[in-house]
Each structure stands twice: as C-alpha cells, then as structure tokens.
Structure 1
C-alpha cells in the first residue's frame, strides 16, 4: 500500500479538490443521466468550513473526503480518488481515516449514501462493513443510504 498523508484541505487546495472529484465522478454522468452531486458541491465553502480532507501521495493530492460531524454520527458526504490513483490504497486509507475520525469525535456510527447506479461504490461500502439502511428517491437522484456502527465505540459515553 502506498504511503498516504491525510490532512485538512486549505484554500489553495480548492482547484485540485474540484479536479479530483470531477475526475473520479465524471464517468458516471452518462450512466446515471445526471451530474453526480459531489461534482456540484461548493468546494470552496466546504474547505472553508473545515469539512474537506485530502489524501496526498508523494506531495500530490490523489484523494478527497468530505465529512460532516453530527451529534450521533459522522456523515461521509463524498469520497473521491483520482482515477490515476485507484487501486493504490488511497481509498482504503480514506475509509479507515473516516472511521478513526468518527471515533475521535466520540460518535459510534458513520453514515453515507451513493447513487443506486454506482454499483462499484455499493460493493465497496459493503466490503467495508456498511449496511444498507434504505433506498429512496431524492429529487432526480435514486440513492442508497448506508451506515456502519463502529464496534469499538458501542460503549463510548457519546453513545449513551
């Protein structure tokens, strides 16, 4: 596995964050018939709000994750790995980081969603132990909602 450094994104990262997200999701436009919502995100506002973290390999940003801290869970809003870095461990490092972040914040669950037409993502999330909570239409998007309860956090004070 490649050595991956995950750090908070800064304003200077916004163009590369957009580039990684666009490269990772662009191929889905034809399949789902819509621009995937991560491509339409306000990357500058998300970076400014401290929601974006980047994965660097050799000083180059190869992955991006957007997370929102909620009272009882961490919401994984978007995860993207540049196609040139797929299969190198960047995605795995980001997924492990997200779960570690949830534990740091004292919450015992990670939630996320993906488009129902993004089969690869569904297989990936299930491989990482995420379970389907529901599938529902959200406007024009057909989304599958997932969650993962973190066993190590079951007895944490935040879980009550």
Structure 2
C-alpha cells in the first residue's frame, strides 16, 4: 500500500534512508544527501509517501513535488530487506501518476554517479540521462522521463 507520510513516520523514514543509502557512504566519501534530508519539513509539505506492508511497516518511501512544468523526484529508498519486490518501481509509478494527474509532462530526478545500480535502473524505467554535473559537492547524474499526460487515472 502507498500512503502519505505523517509526522509520526519520520523516524521510520530516516531509518529506511540510513539502511538504503548507508552502503554508499564510503564510495562517496560522506553521507549522500538523502541521508541528511529534512524529512520533518518534507512530511509537513505533503511531499513524502510510504510503501507499507500489511502491518503498516515502512518498506520504502518517495519524496516528490511539482516544480514549474515538471514533477521533481527528490528521493526514493527501499529497505534493503525488501528490494527486488517491485516496491521502488511502484513508488516511481505512483510519482509518475501524480505528475500526469497534475498535467505535468515530465519527471526529473538525479542520482549520484557512485550509485551505479541507479544508472542502469532509471533508463530501464524509461528515464533518459540529460546531464552530469557537480552540485553541492556531489557528482550527480540527471535524468528525465517524458510522460503521456491525461486528466487522471483511466476510468
């Protein structure tokens, strides 16, 4: 199930981010940006959604919000024990559906160049690499996906 995060979810979201991104700290040389995000502010702004199991345990989360003419997918993480179950794919599809619902034509995102799994996963999901640059001291790879917009989900 995917649901909007609430204030009481912050600790579980932070724990998920720590577990999901912790393996990259050594390669990057410091904690990646998603590990130090201001989740409290993002939750308050209704930008965080959770994938939960039947017991409402956090399996993953996504942070996204509209920016001008596109949806910006800022962060996505899945509990390491839950990888390979389609949770990340479902969260990204949810973000894309919300972009379509808002008549936004594209989803933009970036990842760190050291997160090599992402560099192959995003193209597999239809995202196209558009740029590489250093930003905030991180070497980032930027992607976008053009969407077919509609007036909401099929009826």
TM-score normalized by the length of structure 1 = 0.90
Q: Where in structure 2 are the equivalents of 1:1-160 lying within 5 Å?
A: 5-58=1-54, 59-150=56-147, 152-153=148-149
Q: CA deviation at 1:32?
A: 1.2
Q: Structure 1 unaligned runs (5+)?
A: none
Q: Structure 2 unaligned runs (5+)?
A: none
Give the root-mean-square deviation of aligned CA atoms.
1.2
Instruction: List structure 1 segments (4+ residues) > 6 angstroms apart after TM superposition.
Output: none
Query: Partners of 1:139 and 1:57 in 2: how far apart?
Result: 35
Three-state SS of the structure 1 residue aligned to 2:98 is: helix
Query: Partners of 1:69 and 1:139 in 2: how far apart?
Result: 22
Query: Partners of 1:89 and 1:132 in 2: how far apart?
Result: 22
Query: Partners of 1:139 and 1:20 in 2: how far apart?
Result: 23
TM-score normalized by the length of structure 2 = 0.93
Q: CA deviation at 1:102?
A: 0.6
Aligned length: 150
